[in-house]
Amino acid sequence: MAGSPNAPVRVGVLALQGDFREHLAVLRTLGADAIPVRRPEELTDIGGLVIPGGESSVMDKLSRAFGLAEPLKRAIADGMPVYGTCAGLIMLADTVIDAIRGQESLGGLDVSVRRNAFGSQLDSFETDLDIPAVGAEPMHAVFIRAPIVETLGEKATALASLDDGRIVAVEQGNLIGTSFHPEVTNDLRFHEYFLRKVRDAAR
């Protein structure tokens, strides 16, 4: 893995709920050995993890029920590269402003997020974003019941914002979070960006 920048890497996609199949397909298209993760022991076999979109409160409950929450928190603290999209961003946020009663996050990203910040699924929308970290060309972004980053802590960096200044992509060390869903478009640059982090961490 360390010998070649393009060597295959094994990465996981949290497969408790949500659109994990789409992420698995994208990662495999990019040459990664991508596997669904549902059990704590599967975390030891991967070099990075994607937390997909879905329903963050359900994902939280299932991660605790399956005994994954604490091992995930340890993996994040130990520096495993993790990319969270939509609900995955909520799971990675240190603070969830409008969490339902009893909802927890894994944490790791020094941000506060608001769930369903744009309204219901009927209020989903698409737009083009400038994201220099992944390339010069604008990225077409799809927002579906998306969260928003309301507060950016000192440790985190904004990667993309809407025209009104609201932050929709962040990074902190080996952690990435986006409000939108790159896995449903043909633009794979965020997944490529994540895989570079996985390869760098493996070295």
Residues marked active site are found at 86, 181, 183
- Element holding 124 (H helix, E strand): none
Give φ, ψ of 62 to 5 degrees. -70, -40
Alpha-carbon radius of gyration of the chain: 15
Do residues 69 and 106 make contact, with C-beta atoms less than 8 angstroms apart? yes
Nearest in space to 137 (alpha carbons), one of 173, 190, 179? 190
The whole-angstrom separation of Cα 176 and Cα 82 is: 6
DSSP annotation of 126: E
Which position has the token pair 């094994």? Answer: 10
DSSP state of 54: S
Inter-residue contact 147 to 114 (CB < 8 Å): yes
The residue behind tokens 């989903």 is 124
Alpha carbon 193 to its chain centroid, in Å, reads 12
Task: Give CA–CA dist 169/12, Å, rounded.
Answer: 21
